[in-house]
Chains A and B, each alone.
Chain A
Amino acid sequence: MIVIAFLKKFWTHLMGCFPKNRIEIPTHIDDNETIIRAIFHPIFVSSKKGLKFQAFLPGKSDDAEQRKRVSVYRKNYSTDSACKNSAISIKMNQQSYYGFAAFMSKHISNINELAGMTVQAKMAFTPMDISNKYIEIQNNKIYTTDKGIPMHAEIVYNKEIELDNPNTGHRLYADKLIEITKNSVYKDIEPLLPNWHQEEIKWKEI
């Protein structure tokens, strides 16, 4: 019994270290795909108030195009462990990896249709290589086992964040995503260790 339990645990651990079997990742992101966003503390989350709107807004890049884009993972074409291992490799000054927030791809189009939204967004498949450079997807097939971040995608806003002045539309959009992910924020209890050992990351109904 002990041997069987050990082998089962070892197998689970082994499977957690590797992405799912080699599957081609479609360029189109289906409405029902689970999308997960890596959360860093303290910039994206506070212990008192939970997720902040910054969690779903682009960073402060000098590149206007980058100020439209928010990195996420396509969970259906990866594993929780692979996403975590990618997230903990991200080095942000004075920020530490906290966990993940999950939503469905369709939530992006749902928010676009809400009254009062002055900013729109879409999901885009943007796989990255081992050097965090975008991989051209026009003539390439991308597989779940490719090196780098093959499951990388982005929320792409139709307007870039403006520096030094208000971005009400973007904040309102991010606020809607916070509402949607209210029950789907996963704090990693072992943030310094590789691999995900907690409940499966998925979007939970509000």
Chain B
Amino acid sequence: MTITVQKNLSADFNPDRVREIAEGLQALDGPLLPILHAVNDQCGFVDERALPIIADVLNLTRAEVQGVVSFYHDFRRAPAGRHVVKVCRAEACQAMGAENLIAGLEKSFGVKLGETSKDGRVTLEAVYCLGNCALSPAALIDGKLYGRLDAAKAQARLSK
């Protein structure tokens, strides 16, 4: 189980790869979340077609796997943009103008919170606390944490 920056890989579905991931982790205690994380990280999202394979490996029903996938915010059902911006909108960041930051990001990326831009460049998502509350407002941009962020800095980071 590793954390990697979300990549929008090709949506080509590889059932063997999913099975390999699931079988590789099935011996863990409580293997379903680690498997879903691995699929999500390595394939960019949890493809609908992965669910019956994971269910088969773990001897679960497809509904059980589906229920878990849909419960957690992290598991994507569709590919994300090439850049993923997760901006905090919890209280400490609100106190430092998170709502303005979000409005600025929406404007500069041309997307609404929770959306991916039409050109697939950027996904903008809300997150509730990144543990950087003394340096608010905060966001994770492609897996890197930023504090005291403003929309211009975020845009500059994406242009790199």
Q: Do the two shown chains form a genuine complex with each other? A: no
Spell out A's residues near B (CB within 8 Å).
none
